[in-house]
Structure 1
């Protein structure tokens, strides 16, 4: 049988020292764990702030601030003009309109399923690219290169009865009333 008794009995001072050493080790482990959690939390916060720093602009604001935005990424919001949509070699080209300002968009990812809805509001992520282009409002010197699209659900109700379904060529009531351009029909 093995003798497990200490060769020298521990006195109270030795026991107190052992407890202190164990307490110091626990404090170090807790400090390291807290530091690791702070680092992970900081990285998550930085990633969230990067996403939050993407500027959100309506089409008219984006055009007005084109020089300031330069080539920075931002989010562009507008309604898709149904007659402007075309796809070629994985690129979807279309115009978005907001407050009578039109932006030509070249979207390089697959658009979501709801994209087919006429006059659907979208939020696009991307940047301005200098190039001659034509929108429903006329010629422009830039297009918006998009690689991420979010579809905004509308609160517009469409009844199941065909005679009540609005004409997809027609924009939402009052949407283009003050615009100086006409939107081509499908």
Structure 2
């Protein structure tokens, strides 16, 4: 049997008010969840940006002098590629960079950019020191730089537009190796 007794208006009003309260709580929970998701995503992006910003930069001579302090931390290494040192070996590009008469042996694990083939090109490499016996133009060393990211200083457009300013890059830049106690092999 069905209840055919009339409903009281007070009960209907309280049911509608309860339903509105429940709907309001659900909306607040959804909005709160969305805001929390945005905050987490923004925090992750900020952390990634700060991590990249804290990747510090060292010239080759500074990196060698600060090797103990740098330990196995990632950093950016800057120098000019010694053209005669470039060797491709099983997907790894081995070469040396020189700055202020200090030479660092590099093992780069990713294909270098096309412009890398330009002699004496300035590069910035991201990576870390790895212990290993190597020989550089400056002599024996106990570490090499393991790199997985390379930035080249000039684009092809820059070279084409400024060819007269770059000079003969088959030779090191004028005065670059004048005070070095070692000879750098030529191509």
TM-score (norm 1): 0.81
Distance 1:25 1:38 in 2: 20
Note if 1:46 corresponds to 2:47: yes
Note if 1:79 corresponds to 2:80: yes
Larger % of helix: which?
Answer: 2
Q: After superposition, where does 1:64-75 map in structure 2 within 5 Å?
A: 64-75=65-76
Q: By how many angstroms is 1:27 displaced?
A: 2.1
Q: By how many angstroms is 1:8 displaced?
A: 4.6
State the match for 2:94 in structure 1: 93
State the match for 1:3 in structure 2: none
Q: Which piece of structure 1 moves more, 7-16 or 21-30?
A: 7-16
State the match for 1:172 in structure 2: 173
Distance 2:57 2:8 in 1: 75
Q: After superposition, where does 1:14-163 map in structure 2 within 5 Å?
A: 14=14, 18-153=19-154, 157-159=162-164
Task: Show structure 1 runs of 5+ residues with no match.
Answer: 1-5
1:95-138 deviations in whole A, cap 9, x for unaligned? 10112211011112111101011111111122212222121222
1:52-89 deviations in whole A, cap 9, x for unaligned? 33232111111001011122222111111112111122
Q: By how many angstroms is 1:11 displaced?
A: 8.2
Q: Would the aligned equivalents of 1:82 and 1:168 in 2 still touch at CA under 8 Å?
A: no
Q: By how many angstroms is 1:12 displaced?
A: 9.9
Q: Would the aligned equivalents of 1:83 and 1:169 in 2 still touch at CA under 8 Å?
A: no
TM-score (norm 2): 0.81
Q: By how many angstroms is 1:165 displaced?
A: 7.7
Q: By how many angstroms is 1:177 displaced?
A: 2.8
Counterpart of 1:78 in 2: which secondary structure? strand
Distance 2:132 2:30 in 1: 58
Counterpart of 2:175 in 1: which secondary structure? coil
